[in-house]
């Protein structure tokens, strides 16, 4: 595996953070609309 630079690690952590946020919002909208 390649060594990641701090910039790449920051980008990955940001991407994971936003990805999880979008998933949570999506699930909230889906379950919220079913009630």
pLDDT in tens, 1-35: 578 899 999 999 999 999 999 999 999 999 998 87
What pLDDT was estimated at residue 35?
72
What pLDDT was estimated at residue 1?
59
Q: How far apart are CA 5 and CA 12, in angstroms?
A: 11
What pLDDT was estimated at residue 4?
81
């Amino acid at each position: 595996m390649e060594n990641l630079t701090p910039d790449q690690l920051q980008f990955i952590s940001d991407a994971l953070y936003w990805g999880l946020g979008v998933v949570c919002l999506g699930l909230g909208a889906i379950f919220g609309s079913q009630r």
